Structure 1
Amino acid sequence: MKLWGIDLGGTKIECAVLDNENNLSVIARKRLPTEADQGYEHIISQIVKLVNLVSEELGEKPAKIGFATPGVLDPETQTMKNCNTVCMNGNPMHKDLEEALGIPVKIANDANSFALAEALMGAGKNYPNAELVFGVIMGTGVGGGLVVHGKVIGGHHGIGGEWGHNILEENGDACYCGKSGCAEKVISGSGLENFYEKQTGTRLKLKEILERYEAKSDVYAEATIDRMLEYYGRGISTLINVLDPDLIVIGGGVGNIDLLYTEGYERIKKYIFNNKKVTTPIVKPLLGDSAGVFGAALL
C-alpha cells in the first residue's frame, strides 16, 4: 500500500509517496509553486496538477491522500481558519479537494503533521515507548502538534497543540490573534529580533544576536537570549504540567539553538509542578524539511 501526502505551503506544494510495505521508504517526491497570489481556486488546480504528475510518474493514482496545511479545518463549519495563506480561510477545502481529486482526503495542520512524522519516522524512533509526543514549532511563529498512540489529536475546535497563542508575557506585544504577549510574540525568531530592536534601535537577525551573546560583546544580546531562555522555560513547563508528554521534539529555526537543550532545560525546572525535577526528553527533529509532507502521508 502506498501512502500519499501533500505539504501545502505558502510558496510551494510538495507531494511525497511512501511505501507502507517497505519501511515507509520514499518512492516519489515532486514540487510545484503554490502561486497563492492567484487565489484559492488556483491553489486547488495546482494541487490537482501535482497529483496528476506524480500519478503519471508512478503509473497509478492514489486511493486516498493526506494534506498538511498552514491552518486548520474548523470541525464545526468545515472551512479553513488560521491560515497564513489567507485566501484559504473561510473555504471548504476538505470538500473542494475531495471533489477535485475524486478520492477521500484527510487534512491536518502542518505542526500536527510535523509531530506525527517525527513521532513515527523521526526522533520518536529513538523513544519507542513514547505514547504521547508533542511537536513544538519555534520559528517565525510558534505552534505545536500533539500525537497520542500514533494519531494526531486535533481537538474539539481543531486547535489541539496551539500553545503559541497562550499568554507568556503580561502586557506584551500585540498579537494578530487579538491578545498580547503570546508565546508567538515572545519566543519566536521574529519576537526575539523585535525585542532586541526595541532595546537598541538596531535590527539584527537572530543568528547575529546569538553570536553577540556567545561572544559576550553585547549586553542587549545577552538580555535577549536570557529572556528567551526564561520564557521558554515557562512555556515548556506549562506543556509538561498539562500534558506530561513522553517526548518533546522542537522544530523551527529557533529550535536549532543548543542553549534550549541545556540552560533552557534548567529553566523548565523553575516552573514545573514536580518538585523542580524534569526528565522529559526534549530533542531536535531528525526529518528536517521532510517532516510536513511525510506527516501528511502518514495521516
Structure 2
Amino acid sequence: MIRIGVDFGGTKIEAAALDAQGRFLARVRAPTPPGYDEGLEAVRGLVDEAERQAGARATAVGVGGPGSPSPASGLMRNANSTQLNGRPFPADLARALGRPVRYANDANCLALSEATDGAGRGARVVFAAILGTGCGAGIAVDGRLVEGRSAVAGEWGHMPLPWPSDAEHPGPACWCGRRGCLELWVSGPGLARDHGAGLTALEVVERAGHGDAAAAAALDRYVERLARGLAVIVDVIDPDMVVLGGGMSNVSALYERLPDAIAPHVFTDACEVTVRPALHGDSSGVRGAAWLWPLEAAP
C-alpha cells in the first residue's frame, strides 16, 4: 500500500509516492504550466509516473496547493495562482485522476507533515508558517489539521501587521485587495522590498551577516515584524511549537532571535516559544499532501 501526494506550486508541481512508514518510493517534478487544463494534465502525468516508479497504485490522492475550496460552492478562492480561483479544482483533479482527491492548502500540508513526523512530532499544538514568495500558515492539534468551519483557519498572511508604526500604516497594497497584509512584510519579497536596493531577501540576509548596516537594519525590522505576527498567534492558540518553512526558514538568525522578540508582545509575564525549521524542508508540502489520506481511510 502506498500514499500519493502532490504539491501544486506556483512554479513547480511535485508528485511523490510514500510507503506506509512515510519513506519516499518515488519523487517526480515538472514546471507548473500557466493554463488551468494544462495544470490538470501535468498532475495526472506526474502521478502516473510516481506510481510507475513505485510499482503500485494508490486508491486516493492528496493534493496541497494555494488557496482552498469554498465549503459552500466547492470553487477555489484565495489562491495566488489565480488561474485556480473560481474553478472546481479538487473535483476536476478527481476526474482527471479517476479516484478520490483530498485537497488542502499548502501551509496546512506543512503543518500536517511536521506534526506527523517532523519538527513538531509529539507536540500537541503545532503552528506552521510558510515564509516564501508569499506567507501562509496551518494549525495541527494532536496530529490532525484544524481547518475551521469556513476552511480558512491559518490564513495568517492576510491579517494586518499587528501594532503598526506610523511608517508602516496603511502599508502597501496586497493582491487580495487589502492593504498592509502580514504577507507583504514577512515574505521573502517583503524583506527585499523593505531593503529597497534591488537585492533578493537572501542577499539582504547575507549582506547583514557581513556587517552591511542597511541590510542589518532591514533584517532587524523583519525579525520585529515577524515576532509581532507570531505573538498574536501565541495569544490566540499558545502553540507548543512554531515551525517555519519556505525560503526564509533557512535564515538561522530567526531561531536565535525570534523567541526573545516575540515575548514582549505576548499578554503574559512568562512566555515560552519554541521556533524550529521544518525538519523535512521543501519536502514537507508533498509529504503533508500524502498524509491527507491515512491508509486505513483511503477508499
TM-score where L is the length of structure 1: 0.90
2:148 is matched with 155
SS of 1:212's equivalent in the other structure is helix
- Partner Cα separation in structure 2 for residue 109 and residue 292 of structure 1: 9
- Partner Cα separation in structure 1 for residue 278 and residue 15 of structure 2: 20
2:246 is matched with which residue: 244, 252, 256? Answer: 252
Amino acid at match of 1:214: G
State the Cα RMSD in Å: 1.7
Cα shift at 1:68: 0.6
2:297 is matched with none
1:263 is matched with 257
1:227 is matched with 221
Structure 2 gap ranges (5+): 293-299
SS of 1:269's equivalent in the other structure is helix
1:15 is matched with 15
Cα shift at 1:209: 2.4
Cα shift at 1:117: 0.8
**1:223-258 deviations in whole A, cap 9, x for unaligned?**
212211221221111001001111110112222222
1:74 is matched with 70
**1:28-47 deviations in whole A, cap 9, x for unaligned?**
22223332x2x211211222
1:87 is matched with 83
1:284 is matched with which residue: 267, 277, 299? Answer: 277
2:126 is matched with which residue: 117, 125, 133? Answer: 133
1:32 is matched with 30
TM-score where L is the length of structure 2: 0.90
Cα shift at 1:84: 2.3
- Partner Cα separation in structure 2 for residue 260 and residue 57 of structure 1: 38
* Runs (4+) off by over 4 Å: none
- Partner Cα separation in structure 2 for residue 224 and residue 157 of structure 1: 36
SS of 1:270's equivalent in the other structure is helix
1:102 is matched with 98
> Is 2:117 aligned against 1:118?
no
- Partner Cα separation in structure 2 for residue 99 and residue 206 of structure 1: 40
**1:45-89 deviations in whole A, cap 9, x for unaligned?**
222222223333344322111001122111111011122222111
- Partner Cα separation in structure 1 for residue 280 and residue 16 of structure 2: 14
Amino acid at match of 1:211: E
What is the number of equivalent residue pairs in this alignment? 286
- Note the 1:148-227 alignment, pairs <5 A: 148-168=141-161, 169=164, 170-197=169-196, 202-218=197-213, 220-227=214-221
Instruction: Say if 1:59 and 1:212 are closer, same or farther in 2 by CA, change over 3 A.
Output: closer
Structure 1 gap ranges (5+): none
2:289 is matched with 296
SS of 1:147's equivalent in the other structure is strand
Instruction: Say if 1:278 and 1:57 are closer, same or farther in 2 by CA, change over 3 A.
Output: same
**1:96-145 deviations in whole A, cap 9, x for unaligned?**
122222211100011111111111121123xx2x1111101112211111
**1:136-178 deviations in whole A, cap 9, x for unaligned?**
1112211111111211122222221111111113311111122
- Partner Cα separation in structure 1 for residue 153 and residue 45 of structure 2: 31
- Partner Cα separation in structure 2 for residue 289 and residue 81 of structure 1: 24
Mean Cα deviation higher: 73-82 or 57-66: 57-66
- Partner Cα separation in structure 1 for residue 215 and residue 80 of structure 2: 30
Amino acid at match of 2:172: D
